[in-house]
Each structure stands twice: as C-alpha cells, then as structure tokens.
Structure 1
Amino acid sequence: MPVLVITGTGTEVGKTVATAAVAAAAVAAGRSVAVLKPAQTGVGPDERGDADEVARLAGAVTARELARYPEPLAPATAALRSGRAPVSPPEVAEAAAKLATEHDLVLVEGAGGLLVRFDADGGTLADAAKLLGAPVLVVATAGLGTLNTTELTARELRARDLDLLGVVIGSWPAEPDLACRCNVTDLPEAAGAPLLGALPETAGALPPGTFRSMAPEWLAPCLRGRWNAEEFTTREAPAPFARGA
C-alpha cells in the first residue's frame, strides 16, 4: 500500500488528526512517510496548513502542498475567487506517485468530502484515487447522521470501482451518547467495510510525543496499529434491544 487516500464524510470530522495518527503509526513501525495535501484552503501564506499539522503531530514525515487558497471554501471555488490556478486530479496523482518513489507510504489527504471539486472540470479526490489505483480510508463522525454520510461515501467509492479500505471514527467522545454507541456496530454495515480505528476526541490536543506513542492504540493492525475492533465494540456498544418489548 504505497499510497493511501484519506477522505472524510464531510468537513470537521477529524480527518487531519486521523491522517496524523496513520502517519505516526507508520513511522513507529519504521516506515518513511509523506503526506500530500492537494489543495489547502482557508489559511494565509504564513499559517500552518493541514500537512504541517500532520507533521507536527506525527514527527518525521515529509509534508507537501500543491496549492493554497486564502478563503475557506471548496478548492475549485477558492481557486476561482483567488485568481490562482486550480489543482487537477492528474497533478495530484503525479505528485503522489513521485513521493511514493521516495517513501514507503504516501498519505493523500483530501479537502472535505470525497466529491469536493478541485477544478472547473469537476475533478475530485475520487478521480485522483482512481488514477493512482489507491485504496481509500474514510474518516467519519461518531454521532447521529454518520450512517447516512458514510454509506453515501461508500456507495460512491464502489460505483467508481475504488477500494474502500475501511472507516475510522475521527473523534470518539469521552462520554458517548446512545447514537454513538449504536453506530459502533452500525457503521461497518453502512459502509460495507470494517471499522479500523477510533481516535479520542482529545487526540489533536495531546503533546506531539504523547500523540505519537498513543497513535498505534487507536488504529487497527492493517494501519500498523494495535486497536482491536471487537474489543472496542464489545466495550462501547449497548446491549441489543429486547425483541417484542
């Protein structure tokens, strides 16, 4: 798996912190890692972007951006409004492929959800994943509404013949409500793919050293972690509803 594409079911789902955890676990396993952010929006020229945040949390990773736009909008809209050139899926694929010749693992972190547009031609992260032939990891929320957005994302991936590696919960609350607890068992069914991790809601605020040491505890073995989905589900999911009650 030299390239892994990481998308979210929407914005603010914990995608960057999840990307950092995947990177940190890989580094801890002795892999060289690069993170590629095709289009960074909503930050100024001297501000830290998502790739920089991954590097801050994960440690010794190569961070790359292809384009940066100041307004917090979809990349295609942000590029148009800024008068700057947009990023296209072939450019993303070419950059990721080049990084893959120099690193054991390249993580391509999208902006928002899977079908957020990069350019006026409608190019998306899904198109870049298709060009790369890379599997896709979906970062989802824990609470109410996540089943719908996760299943829609999974259906679109399959419609494009893309490999859905699995789902990671980007922010698991310290005190999960009933919806969160039920979703632990319902998310794999909605996605048609395994649950591969759950990050605590405070993960991104941890000191980098603590984050790096803890990251493998939040991710399944296929992501070079030690997290066990069965144990997590047994602990967090509520008892089944009584039939006929």
Structure 2
Amino acid sequence: MTILVVSGTGTEIGKTIVTAAVAAAFRDRRVAVLKPAQTGLAPGAPGDAAEVARLAGGHVTAVELARFPEPLAPGTAARRAGLAPVRPYEIAEAAQKLAADHDLVLVEGAGGLLVRFDGEGSTLADAARLMAAPVLVVAPAGLGTLNATALTTEALRARGLTCPGVVVGSMPAEPDLAARCNIDDLPVSAGAPLLGWVPAGAGALPPADFRTRAPSWLAPELGGNRRAPNGPASG
C-alpha cells in the first residue's frame, strides 16, 4: 500500500483528522499527504494538507495541487473562479511522483467520493482507478451513516476499487444509541472492516499528544495498535 486514497461519505466528517491520524501512526515511515483541490480558503491560509503535517509531525510532506476560494465542489469552485480544474490524471501523476520517494502517500479527497472535480464529471474515484489505489472511507458516527457508507462502498465496488475499511471520523465522548450500534453495523453495511474511530475534538489536541494517541485509534492495517472494535473510547 504505497498510495492510499482517503474519501468520505460527505463533507465535514473528519477526513483531514483521520488522514493526520494515519500519517501519525506511520511515524517511522516517509509519508506524503496530497490534497488535490482545496476549496473555501484564501491564498496563504493553511489548508488541509498543512493541518495534517502540523498534527502528524515533521516526517510528513504536504502537497496541494490547486486552491479555489469558494467552499464548493472542486469543479464548481474552479469554474466560478475562472481557474483550471484538477484532472484525475494530474492527481495520479502527482501521487505517483510522491510515491517514488515516500513510503506512503495519502490522497485526501474533497467531500464525498463522487464530488465532481471538473466539467466532465470526473471524480476522486476516477483518480483512484488511474492509481489502482485502495480507498479508505471516513464516515460519521450517528444516524444516517449506514446508508451513506453503504452507497459509498457500493460505488467503489462498482468501479472495481478496493476499500480496506471504514474509520469513524469523529466519535463523541458520550456516543448515543445510534453511534454505539453503528460500531457493530458499519462493517456489515460497508462490506468492509471497521478500522477505528477518532474521538471528537482530536484535532484540537496539542500535536505531541495527537501523535502519541493516534495509534490507539486505528487498527494495525492503518499503522495503529487497536486490536478490535470493543466500544468507543477517547484514546
């Protein structure tokens, strides 16, 4: 697994923090994080790739391909800004170039799997196919997540893409009934294992604490040491 795509079932569900946790868990490896399209930020403001590097540590190389000022889907944001969109082949070429001198390249998408990157309807899934890369799915904890996760993983399988598993992006410190039940139900809906959960608010931890605690949130497949989904915990 040299390249791993990180996608979500929607937006604002913890993709960046999960990406940072995976990067931190692989602290003994050379890791790069690639953000193909950053939307909703002004020039010079730190973006998602920079946030991953801040939390995960100095072993992370942060790369952003394009930035569009409005908080919209990348294709729409590029069109409205009068800027060239990011094409799937550009994402694949950038990731493969990073893979030449890094042990792991994490490609963090924008929003959900099928959000459009250009006027032709290209998506992160198209880039993943070009890279022949597995796609890790980040999902919310509560009501509605089972359907959204099932739809996302079904779309991956329909495109011949592999999903190594699902990570809950923001697990409440006191999860409600739905969130507790979803720990058992998410792997069934996804047809893929639950590979961990990141506690809500983890991104606000001091970076040193984040790096120390990140492995406890993730399964060994993602560099962590959590052995089984035996109930939500803050790490």
Bin the TM-score by the shorter chain.
over 0.9
* Matches of 2:128 and 2:231, distance apart in 1: 30
**What's the offset of the Cα at 1:227?**
1.0
**What's the offset of the Cα at 1:120?**
0.6
- In the other structure, the counterpart of 1:166 is 165
* Matches of 2:12 and 2:228, distance apart in 1: 23
- In the other structure, the counterpart of 1:109 is 108
* Matches of 1:229 and 1:134, distance apart in 2: 25
* Matches of 1:176 and 1:139, distance apart in 2: 17
Task: Give the CA RMSD over aligned residues.
Answer: 1.2
Say whether 1:214 aligns with 2:213: yes
* Matches of 1:104 and 1:176, distance apart in 2: 35
Matched AA of 1:55: A
* Stretches of 4+ aligned residues off by more than 4 angstroms: none
- In the other structure, the counterpart of 2:129 is 130
* Matches of 1:177 and 1:10, distance apart in 2: 21
* Matches of 2:115 and 2:227, distance apart in 1: 32
* Matches of 1:114 and 1:231, distance apart in 2: 28
- In the other structure, the counterpart of 1:39 is 37
* Matches of 2:86 and 2:225, distance apart in 1: 36
**What's the offset of the Cα at 1:54?**
0.4
Matched AA of 1:3: I
Q: In the alignment, is the contact (CA less than 8 A) between 2:194 and 2:229 conserved in 1?
A: no
* Matches of 1:230 and 1:174, distance apart in 2: 15
- In the other structure, the counterpart of 1:197 is 196
- In the other structure, the counterpart of 1:53 is 51
**What's the offset of the Cα at 1:70?**
0.3
- In the other structure, the counterpart of 1:238 is none
* Matches of 1:10 and 1:89, distance apart in 2: 20
Matched AA of 1:225: G
Report the TM-score, using the length of structure 2 for normalisation. 0.97
Say how many residue pairs are matched: 233
Q: Deviations over 1:113-157 (max 9, x none)?
A: 000011111111000000000001000000000001000000000
* Matches of 1:118 and 1:151, distance apart in 2: 22
* Matches of 2:61 and 2:39, distance apart in 1: 20
**What's the offset of the Cα at 1:202?**
1.7
Give unpaired runs (5+ residues) of structure 1.
236-245
**What's the offset of the Cα at 1:203?**
0.6
Q: Deviations over 1:91-114 (max 9, x none)?
A: 000000000001000000000000
1:134 counterpart SS class: coil
* Matches of 2:230 and 2:117, distance apart in 1: 39
Matched AA of 2:105: V
- In the other structure, the counterpart of 2:177 is 178
Report the TM-score, using the length of structure 1 for normalisation. 0.93
Matched AA of 2:156: L
**What's the offset of the Cα at 1:56?**
0.6
Larger Rg: 1
2:161 counterpart SS class: coil
What is the percent sequence identity of the aligned residues?
69
* Matches of 1:229 and 1:143, distance apart in 2: 20
* Matches of 2:56 and 2:135, distance apart in 1: 20
Matched AA of 2:96: A
